[in-house]
Amino acid sequence: MIAVVLRVVVQRSITKLIDRMNRTVSSVDGTALGGLLVNNERRRQRSQAIGSVLRSVASFLILGTAALMVLGTFEINLAPLLASAGVAGVAIGFGARNLVTDFLSGVFMILEDQYGVGDQIDAGVATGEVIEVGLRVTKLRGANGEIWYVRNGEVKRIGNLSQGWATAGVDVTVKASEDLDRVKATLDEVAEKMSKEEPWNELLWSPIEVLGLDSVLLDSMVVRISAKTMPGKSLAVERELRWRVKRAFDAADIRIVGGATAPVTEDLADPTAAVAAPSAFSNADSPQVAATTPITPPRAAAPSTPAK
């Protein structure tokens, strides 16, 4: 009876603690904590998973200790029971090792906050946005909208694209004859204007820098621009940069060049097209001429003169 009451008290205490943690961040839509983007749903699921683990561990310890104490009160020899339980535990653990591995991996992923809801991750077996984090399975939404159910035990490495910061880099290829000072001045103007406009001023975490020439070829040269962005927003910044650079270069009459184009070939007339093939009837000795020549009828024999 005491064990049951203690279990209820502990579970309610854990539940209240988790609810208090959720209420603390309920008014915050998103904050950057140590370079980690945190939102309400991420914190809520993480706290619920931790609370579930704590409640399960507390229930196991309290009820297990109470059961051993009750058996000891009745002077029941616990050695055979513990030995049997150990053998059964080994058998069950061997048969359900994948389940145990998934569970333990999920616990450590949640405790270490390796990823959360809304993060873009590369889990090796699948890549996408995290939509749900569980103790056994993590749900990802792929680029085409598909849902991936990834067992936590199958994840050997995780690349979190939503932690810290991201880098947006754009390579601009112009003709080798263009004036570099004019190209750089145009890019600086684009960078300064974009950094002051919304929502790009919030997505950019550092000034847009013109890094300089990345490569020089015979007929072209590549100028690289780069900037640190909010996690997961590098592609959007790169697309906007390309759009603005193209418009600015068109206004400044700076020509952007790309890859080599296929050479245009003209259709040349066949010199032998006007020459007709020789006819088989041009040769009087050909089989075709012989086949079409009318057959000459045989001559009638001359009448013989009677002998006198």
Domains of the chain plus CATH, in order, are 2-159 (no CATH), 166-251 (3.30.70.100)
**Local structure of residue 280 (DSSP, 8 states):** G
Helix%, strand%, coil% for the chain, nearest 5: 45, 20, 35
Q: pLDDT per residue over 52-106, tens digit each?
A: 777 777 887 888 788 777 777 777 776 776 777 777 777 666 767 788 888 888 8
Least Cα distance to 121 among 159, 152, 151 occurs for: 159
Tens of pLDDT, residue by residue over 179-232, are 889 999 999 999 999 988 888 888 888 888 999 888 888 888 999 999 998 887
Q: pTM value? A: 0.53
At 304 the pLDDT is 55
Contacts of 288 by beta carbon, 8 Å cutoff, 6+ apart = 280, 281
- Reported as a single tens digit per residue, the pLDDT across 251-289 is 988 888 875 444 444 454 555 555 555 555 556 666 655
Cβ pair 3, 65 in contact under 8 A = yes
Angle of helix 78-95 versus helix 40-73 axis, rounded to 10: 150
Q: How far apart are CA 186 and CA 198, in angstroms?
A: 20
The token pair that represents 242 in the structure block? 């390309």
Q: What percent of the chain has pLDDT over 90?
A: 13
What's the pLDDT tens digit per position in 144-183? 889 999 998 888 888 888 777 888 899 999 998 888 899 9
